[in-house]
Amino acid sequence: MAGVRLPIQTFPLQAAVTEPVRPFLHAVIVSGTLHVYVSQTDRGELVFGASVDPFAAYLLIRGLKTFALRIERQNSNAQALAEFLEAHPRVEAVHYPGLPRHWEHDVAKHQMRGFGGVVSFEIRGDLDAAARVVDACAIPHLAVSLGGVESLIEQPAIMSFYELTTEERLEIGIKDNLIRYSVGIEDADDLIADLAQALDRLG
């Protein structure tokens, strides 16, 4: 819920462990590397990873050319969305490390160049109310993944954590009214307007 940490926006020696090449690079491939740091002053970095096929490698290289630009846009869009949600009367809580009220904001400022493209928020309502908001959004696709250039939205209680009981979900902070929004590179004003009209459906 605190956002997605990527090597391009994380200071690796201070924070890196396992960093997959997320679908942000290209929406149709998943690759990755494993970095093991013995210490910050030691030259003991080990890199492990399976070989990808030629076409996947081509897509990876192609995606890297615009990766930084897309991450910057996702970061700024997510920040704008989080600030909008934080001020909305129908939103109970917003989980995004770019907000000063977030409990890991200071850590994120120290470790990261950007705060990520995933915003989670809790509406004032129950499971059905959250479903109405998700269904009313016109721009994001309904999907569990972290997404690519397109925004995605999901309801963790009945999607990514559906196999857990209500009690098990609550133990790890997954409430019935939680919505996860993986922000894409669409226009920020469009994303906010779309989410605003969806929240208005709550009455």
pTM score: 0.77
pLDDT tens per residue across span 38-51: 444 444 444 555 67
Q: What is the mean pLDDT of residues 12-26?
A: 47
Tell me, what's the pLDDT at 182?
Answer: 94
- Count how many Cα atoms sit within 13 Å of the Cα of residue 131 in the half-sphere of its side chain: 7
pLDDT tens per residue across span 131-162: 999 999 999 999 987 767 899 999 998 888 88
